[in-house]
Every structure is written in C-alpha cells, then in structure tokens.
Amino acid sequence: MYARRFHIEVIVAGERRPCPLDWLDAFAMRNFTGSAEFDDTLPVADGVLEAGFRVQPERLASALGEWLTRRGKGDGQTVAVEIREEPRGT
C-alpha cells in the first residue's frame, strides 16, 4: 500500500526544514476520518511520509500547508510545503 516515499519540507518566513514527524503524524491522524484521499499515508520520520498511489503530492502539499498554517505552526506566518518523491530503488 505504501509504494511511494515523499520528502516533505516546510518553509516559514524563508526558513526551510524537514517537516517534524509530530506535525505529519497529527495531520495524517486528523485527516484519516475527514479526507479519504490522505488515508493511504504513513509518517515515518521528520520530513518523510510513505503513501499509496492515490495520494497526489501537489494536493498533499496544499492541504498540509493550509492545515499547518491554521494550526499556528508558522507562528502567525504562512507555512509553505514542498514535496519531492524519492525515486524507487534508492
């Protein structure tokens, strides 16, 4: 089911860093019942999320950024999210 691996970075006020595991975990659990498109996600480490094929990185980045901003994770700043997929076999 988790055939893809995404590396997720958050950008707040120009500072880029891996998305903390606890933020990914809270997003995945909260969205488990509210957004079926993200049911196939498994946070595994800071900045790393495994996912199924129906998870679209662009949609995930948008939804995660909006959710983190609403939750105040940017300390009043917008939280931007960038996702890159790890090529298979690495």
Length of the chain: 90
Neighbours of 56 (CB within 10 A): 14
Side-chain half-sphere CA neighbours of 45 within 13 A: 4
pLDDT in the model for residue 38: 82
pLDDT tens series, the chain, 90 aa: 578 999 999 999 999 999 999 999 999 887 654 677 788 889 999 999 999 998 999 999 999 999 999 999 999 999 999 999 988 765
Please, which residues bridge with residue 15 across strands? 12
User: Tokens in use for 87?
Assistant: 């090529």
Q: Which residues pair with 51 in a beta bridge?
A: 4, 41
**What integer pLDDT is reported at residue 32 of this predicted model?**
55
Give the separation between CA 81 and CA 28, rounded to whole angstroms: 15
Report pLDDT for 54: 87
With 0.95 as the threshold, say if the pTM is over it. Answer: no
